[in-house]
Amino acid sequence: MVVTNQLRNQHLLWRAGFGPKAEQVQFLASISQKELFSKLVKSSDKRPESIQVAKNSFDGIMKGFADAGKIQSLTQEQKQQMRKQSREELKNLNGRWMEEMVNAEDQLREKMSLFWHGHFASRNLNVFFQQQLLDIVRQNALGDFRTLLREVSKSAAMLAFLNNQQNRKQHPNENFAREVMELFTMGRGNYTENDIKEAARAFTGWGFDGGGQFVFRQQWHDDGQKTVLGKRGNFDGDDVLEILLDNKKTAQFITRKIYRFFVNDVPDEAVVNSLAEQFYKSGYDISRLMETIYSSDWFYDPKNIGNRIKSPVELLVGIRRMLPMAFNNPDVQLLFQRVLGQILFYPPNVAGWPGGKAWIDSSTLMFRLRVPQLLVGTDEVNINPKTDDDQQMGMGDMESPSKVKSRNAAAYKKLMDKFAGATVEWDVYLQNFTSTEKTKMIETLSQTLLQRQGLNKNLLLKYADISGRDNLVKSVTIELMSTPEYQLC
């Protein structure tokens, strides 16, 4: 595998962002990785604007879990209406964040935010709380992990999802403490069950009010002595988080997970250990860790290029960055996410999306290969996704009387036929290939779109429209995006 300068830069843009934009293609062969990364850092320096879709804090109060008495007093019809409104706003939040990933210049921040979105997985139908959590993640994505961990741990979305609102002295709830240790910091096997029990006591009293603000209720807190990871004291939740951060196992766990997401599913343990040591000594400086990764020679080793299966979000956003398009109806992105197995704000469980080969099975792979044709309206769909009332995000309301339980391939085909299709703004993309010789067009397009080469040129020509230069570029581009090789980055 010959690693050209262009390939290295595409590799950087796919791992530090969501792939090249059409406007970037022309300079990728000449710019250095150092200069390109510097541009990525600079564009992600400024504080991101919050994505606001929930109408006001009253939505949070009404849809929150804090005021159980008021929620219970609502009629069944009122509860259904609130759930419907929240689902609609979650759809809007999903779409707004997708647009940021596609169009925003701060690619490094948004890609890092997607990673933390999976790491701090929270499935919560309260859009106000989810909006708060997303803001915390995006604001701190490139800061220090200590601050990010504390802010997430005190968010209403996470406290509600992990039941810490019910964690009180004499009746401790261990869910929150367990997941903070197992999934957010140290990883399984580095603590005991007794550590979880003692940490749960320390987190008693942590909760939130109806508006989603963190509240420490002293009367619910267990102020007795606790022993966590060999340390003893009258600990509260902040003390426990500091104990976990002081332990190098946390730096190793986070670094290994970052390496697997951004570099390679198979960790190089020597590299991971070195990165983890730096991460720990830097005070958990996320930006420094990522700079070390993206500026290292080993990051551009052939074994690390084109070896990751794109997540559904990466796939959809990457296509849209290279081919600017306007959807007939933006809701089609929700259908694509659901069929492919990754709906933003709806992780399968507290561990988030497993990633890697879990993205691919016989049905999702076939659908992935058809996404480009569906977007440009050259293919029909026949799918039967799994039923999940939460993950429907209200899409069931658009279909017939049977709704969720009777959903089948025919019903979904109607939905896809109704919403699929987009108008591609080809001009910017086509300009990249005006000076390319026609005999070298397929090779050039392959080098631009694929991180792994080796496709049969004659096979591509068989399905290409050779009636003109533009038609050739368009048809081959869609064919290349419909290959298994395009699923890799």
pLDDT per position as a tens digit, 105-152: 999 999 999 999 999 999 988 999 999 999 999 999 999 999 999 999
d(CA 35, CA 9): 10
Burial class (CB in 10 A: 0-12, 13-18, 19+), 115: middle
**What is the arithmetic mean of pLDDT over 259-270?**
98
Residue 67 CA to residue 43 CA, distance in Å, equals 41
Q: 168 — phi, psi (to 5°)?
A: -135, 155
Say if residues 355 and 348 touch (Cβ distance below 8 Å): no
Q: Residues 11, 451: contact at Cβ < 8 Å?
A: yes
CA distances from 344 to 124, 250, 336 (A): 11, 26, 12
Q: How much is the pLDDT for 454?
A: 84
**Residue 68: per-residue pLDDT:** 44
Which pLDDT band holds residue 397 (cuts at 50, 70, 90)? very low
Residue 62 in this model has a pLDDT that exceeds 80: no
Cα separation, 84 vs 87, in Å, equals 5
Q: What are phi and psi of 232, to 5 degrees?
A: -125, 140
Burial class (CB in 10 A: 0-12, 13-18, 19+), 440: exposed
Share of the chain above pLDDT 70, in %: 87
State the average pLDDT over residues 396-400.
Answer: 42
- Indicate if the alpha-carbon torsion angle 391, 387, 312, 342 is positive or negative: positive
Query: What secondary structure letter does DSSP report for 44?
Result: T
What integer pLDDT is reported at residue 67 of this predicted model? 46
pLDDT at 400 over 80: no
Does residue 399 surpass a pLDDT of 50?
no
What pLDDT sits at residue 45? 94
The pLDDT of residue 72: 56
pLDDT per residue over 323-378, tens digit each? 999 988 888 899 999 999 999 999 999 999 999 999 998 889 999 999 999 888 65
What does the pLDDT look like over 460-476, one tens digit per residue? 888 889 889 999 999 99
Please tell me the predicted confidence (pLDDT) of residue 69: 45
Residue 177 confidence class, pLDDT cut points 50, 70, 90:
very high
Q: What is the pLDDT of residue 462?
A: 84
pLDDT tens-digit map of 11-36: 999 999 999 999 999 999 999 999 99
**pLDDT tens digit sequence for 31-51:** 999 999 999 999 999 999 999
CA distances (Å), 130 to each of 57, 122, 134, 139, 349, in order?
Answer: 13, 8, 6, 14, 15
For 180-207, how does the pLDDT look when each residue is reduced to its tens digit (9 = 90+)?
999 999 999 999 999 999 999 999 999 9
Position 391 pLDDT exceeds 80 = no
Is pLDDT above 50 for 396?
no
pLDDT of residue 341: 95
- Antiparallel, parallel or unpaired: β 226-228 and 231-233: antiparallel
Q: How far, in whole angstroms, is CA 355 from its chain's centroid?
A: 10
Residue 377, amino acid? G
Q: Please give the pLDDT value at position 401.
A: 35
Q: How many CB atoms lie within 10 A of CB 26?
A: 12
Measured between alpha carbons, how far is residue 330 from residues 186, 333, 337, 375, 448 in Å?
39, 6, 12, 11, 27
Burial of 454 per CB tally in 10 Å (0-12, 13-18, 19+): exposed
- Mean predicted lDDT score pLDDT of the chain: 89
What pLDDT score does 58 carry? 43
pLDDT reported for residue 292:
98
Cα pseudo-dihedral 304, 306, 310, 314, rounded to 10:
90
Per-residue confidence (pLDDT) for residue 138, from 0 to 100:
98
- Cα separation values, 219 from 155, 176, 178, 206, Å: 20, 19, 23, 11
Q: What was the pLDDT predicted at 83?
A: 76
